[in-house]
């Protein structure tokens, strides 16, 4: 017999549609959800299990933000809270149309059957709100007595178009494989909620799954909460106010960041671990290494204290500071997106020993087979960190280089430098200059020293307003004249207060670059020859691919070639460089931490950007590549300086009896008081062939 609705049930259903929302925290409304309801042992969602989810969950009802972004490890309870907990609050407290977006259509159907349907039917308060009509309860669409609808979909234009919903809840966004990428899907989701103005909200949560190739990226002291420069959820997080989870040390009480990755464990270097995992026992290693060290008191903390630390933890936004008593000061970044990033070390459902063991197992697979997928997986889902492929990594650490910087006066020659070289990189609107000093180190071997690094940006062409126009080297030959006083004829004061100065012994100028740059470089060198300044200057150019030399001096002539118009006529000497081999040499030298052959000395006045440029490139199977598309002038100019040193035969100098121009300050004729004229050009060395006397003049 068919059952019919009674007047009472109809009246109750209509009343639910008119009932005002219950003004309670979302985290309180989420208690209507029974966790593990499908197993028959469901308990109300408990905030104390994952206390780090309370604040992000409550933010889903914020009128100040239009989006909530959460990055965290797998098995941290993020989906349970932000998707199902938010949905439970919506159903019982603030009914409104909701859309849940999964990574694929199959994933959406599976999520509906195994999580949503089970959660609703296992939670009495939610089941009571479900529409009793059978056709209102489908896999991808559900209706409730209040009139609200729940749609489940995937990142497709048809799913995310033409609908008005108050809340769009997006899960596992870094694994979206539909018609839309995460940025497009996120933008369309924002449009779906726009009708509801400040009442609408978009939630996006995921473990990071996108790689990034800038192996030299480091978190800066100015932005300690910034995520790596990867796409996907990390990019969405960086748009927001960037909250990180801080918890207190159980020993000293100071708060520190539960940062993503493995930094807090103070593990040995990865290259050392790659050797150890092949011979050591995994369980023993993981048990011994699974200790978090407080960055304040450096005491080792064990996993059994994690729950207590989480209960006392709090979210701190970019620009804020948390004190020992738990109070937070400072102003968070103003953004319409509130974002949160939880490190894998704080995940409630994974022990530290398990976290380290999975990492070591993945390293073992890589050490034996070269397969990186297990390593990428454990970085993403366990440590909650975007992965940098091994090919994109570099052993050079700009921070370590900066830490060993010495103190001497900026723009002066420090003790130990016997002669100078300078190199110039021509850009569209500037010249970038690097001056390097050379001399014997304590071991009597050739060491390097960065003496100066600067850019020339203005010409001597008047702008009509009392100033000067910007440089345009590819257009104006007169702009190159700036290099004569600023580089070629420049003298640097010694850092001893004596008033003596040292000239630049050799100058290398890059003649590649924008169209017209090469022709101007050739013209400039010819003008230097007319003035007798050419002997110390060479044009330099890198050659990629497989070449059979490290460097060579040549005088190319393209005057008879119709496919080239560089201006070469066989009269301008140029240094051609095997860039990959020379960069191998420079990279090894700058990475050297102790004085000795090839060691680089840095002044403490050099900016952080200089070290980042020096380590911007990565050695791959194709050669040296700038994978992160960062500025790399310091690296290129160091290569040119190394080539100049080879050109003037600096590595062959006998420091017990050096040539006069490489002698110490007191005996070097180039080191003079004040700005005296530069030393004269050396007399050219001409090879003489034996004179052959005609036989008729020989005595018989």
Q: What is the pLDDT of residues 331-378, one digit of tens each?
A: 999 999 999 999 999 999 999 999 999 999 999 998 888 888 999 999
User: Going by C-beta distance under 8 Å and a sequence separation of 6 or more, which residues neighbour residue 165?
Assistant: 96, 97, 98, 99, 151, 192, 193, 200
Q: Tell me the C-alpha distance between 304 and 91, whole Å.
A: 37
Query: What CATH architecture is 7-47+54-206?
Result: 3-Layer(aba) Sandwich (3.40)
pLDDT given at position 478: 94
532's torsion region: left (phi>0), alpha (psi -120 to 50) or beta? left
* 3 state SS of 181: coil
**Residue 242, Cβ density class (10 Å: 0-12 exposed, 13-18 middle, ≥19 buried):** buried
Q: Assess contact for 125 and 97: CB atoms under 8 A.
A: no
CA dihedral 54, 57, 60, 64 (to 10 degrees): 30
Q: Tell me the C-alpha distance between 487 and 421, whole Å.
A: 10
Q: Tell me the C-alpha distance between 314 and 349, whole Å.
A: 19
Tokens of 89: 């609050």
Q: Which residue has the tokens 């009343």?
A: 15
Strand partners, 320: 330
End-to-end Cα, the chain, rounded Å:
144
Tell me the domain boundaries of the chain. 7-47+54-206, 233-392, 398-666
Q: What angle do CA 155, 157, 159 make, to 5 degrees?
A: 70
Letter string b/e over residues 296-310, b meaning 16 or more CB atoms within 10 A of that residue's CB: eeeeebebeebeebb
pLDDT given at position 491: 95
Nearest to 401 by CA among 630, 218, 633: 218
pTM exceeds 0.85 for this model: no
Tokens of 188: 């369309």
CB atoms within 10 A of CB 699: 3
Flag residues of the chain having pLDDT under 50: 1-2, 39-40, 563, 683-690, 693, 697-700
H-run or E-run covering 56: helix 54-58
Nearest to 189 by CA among 211, 163, 208, 207: 163
Tokens of 421: 């070289």
Nearest to 448 by CA among 631, 638, 608, 609: 638
Tell me which of 1.10.1200, 2.30.30, 3.30.420, 3.40.50 is the CATH number of domain 398-666: 3.30.420
Strand partners, 330: 320
Phi, psi for residue 199 in degrees, rounded to 5: -80, -20
């Amino acid at each position: 017999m068919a059952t019919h609705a009674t007047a009472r049930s109809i009246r109750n259903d209509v009343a639910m549609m008119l009932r005002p929302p219950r003004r309670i925290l979302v985290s309180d409304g989420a208690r209507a959800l029974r966790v593990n309801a499908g197993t028959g042992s469901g308990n109300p969602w408990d905030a104390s299990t994952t206390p780090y989810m309370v604040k992000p969950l409550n933010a889903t009802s914020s009128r100040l933000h239009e989006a909530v972004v959460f990055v965290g490890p797998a098995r941290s309870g993020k989906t349970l809270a932000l998707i199902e907990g938010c949905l439970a609050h919506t159903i019982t407290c603030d009914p409104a149309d909701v859309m849940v977006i999964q990574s694929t259509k199959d994933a959406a159907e599976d999520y509906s059957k195994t999580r949503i349907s089970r959660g609703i039917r296992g939670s009495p308060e939610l089941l009571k709100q479900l529409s009793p009509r059978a056709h209102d309860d489908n896999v991808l669409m559900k209706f409730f007595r209040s009139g609200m609808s729940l749609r489940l979909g995937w990142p497709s234009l048809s799913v995310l178009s033409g609908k008005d919903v108050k809340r769009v809840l997006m899960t596992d966004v870094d694994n979206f494989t539909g018609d839309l990428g995460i940025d497009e899907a996120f933008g369309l989701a924002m449009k779906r909620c726009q009708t509801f103005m400040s009442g609408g909200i978009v939630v996006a949560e995921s473990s990071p799954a996108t790689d990034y190739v800038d192996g030299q990226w480091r978190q800066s002291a100015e932005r300690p909460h910034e995520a790596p420069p990867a796409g996907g959820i990390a990019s969405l997080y960086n748009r927001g106010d960037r909250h990180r989870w801080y918890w207190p040390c159980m020993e000293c009480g100071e708060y520190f960041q539960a940062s993503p990755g493995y930094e807090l464990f103070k593990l040995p270097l990865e290259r050392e671990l790659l050797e150890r995992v092949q011979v050591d026992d995994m369980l023993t290693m993981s048990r011994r290494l699974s200790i978090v060290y407080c960055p304040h008191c450096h005491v080792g903390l064990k996993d059994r204290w994690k729950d207590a630390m989480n209960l006392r933890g709090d979210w701190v936004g970019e620009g804020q500071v948390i004190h020992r008593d738990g109070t937070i000061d400072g102003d968070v970044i103003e953004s319409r997106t509130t974002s949160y990033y939880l490190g894998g070390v704080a995940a409630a459902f994974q022990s530290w020993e398990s976290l380290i063991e999975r990492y070591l197992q993945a390293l073992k697979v890589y050490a034996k087979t070269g397969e990186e997928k297990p390593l990428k997986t454990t970085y993403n889902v366990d440590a909650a960190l975007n992965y940098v492929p091994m090919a994109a990594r570099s052993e050079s650490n700009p921070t370590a280089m900066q830490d060993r910087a010495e103190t001497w006066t900026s723009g002066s020659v420090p003790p130990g430098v016997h002669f100078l070289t300078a190199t110039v990189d021509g850009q569209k609107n500037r010249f970038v200059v690097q001056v390097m000093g050379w001399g014997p180190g304590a071991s009597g071997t050739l060491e390097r020293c960065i003496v100066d690094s600067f850019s020339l940006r203005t010409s001597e062409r008047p702008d009509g307003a009392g100033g000067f126009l910007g440089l345009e080297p590819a257009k104006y030959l007169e702009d190159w004249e700036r290099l004569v006083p600023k580089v070629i004829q420049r003298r640097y004061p010694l850092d001893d207060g004596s008033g003596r100065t040292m000239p630049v012994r050799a100058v290398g100028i890059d003649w590649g670059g924008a169209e017209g740059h090469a022709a101007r470089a050739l013209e400039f060198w010819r003008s230097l020859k007319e003035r007798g300044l050419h002997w110390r200057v060479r044009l330099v150019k890198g050659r990629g691919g497989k070449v059979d030399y490290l460097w060579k001096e040549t005088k190319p002539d393209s005057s008879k070639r119709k496919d080239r118009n560089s201006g070469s006529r066989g009269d301008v000497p140029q240094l051609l460089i095997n860039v990959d081999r020379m960069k191998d040499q420079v990279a090894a030298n700058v990475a050297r931490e102790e004085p000795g052959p090839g060691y680089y000395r840095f002044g403490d006045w050099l900016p952080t950007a200089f070290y980042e440029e020096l380590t911007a490139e990565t050695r791959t199977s194709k050669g040296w590549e700038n994978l992160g598309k960062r500025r790399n002038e310091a690296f290129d100019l160091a290569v040119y300086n190394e080539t100049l040193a080879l050109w003037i035969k600096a590595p062959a100098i006998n420091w017990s009896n050096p040539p006069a121009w490489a002698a110490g300050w007191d005996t070097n004729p180039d080191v003079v008081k004040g700005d005296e004229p530069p030393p004269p050009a050396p007399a050219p060395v001409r090879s003489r062939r034996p004179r052959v006397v005609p036989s008729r003049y020989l005595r018989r």
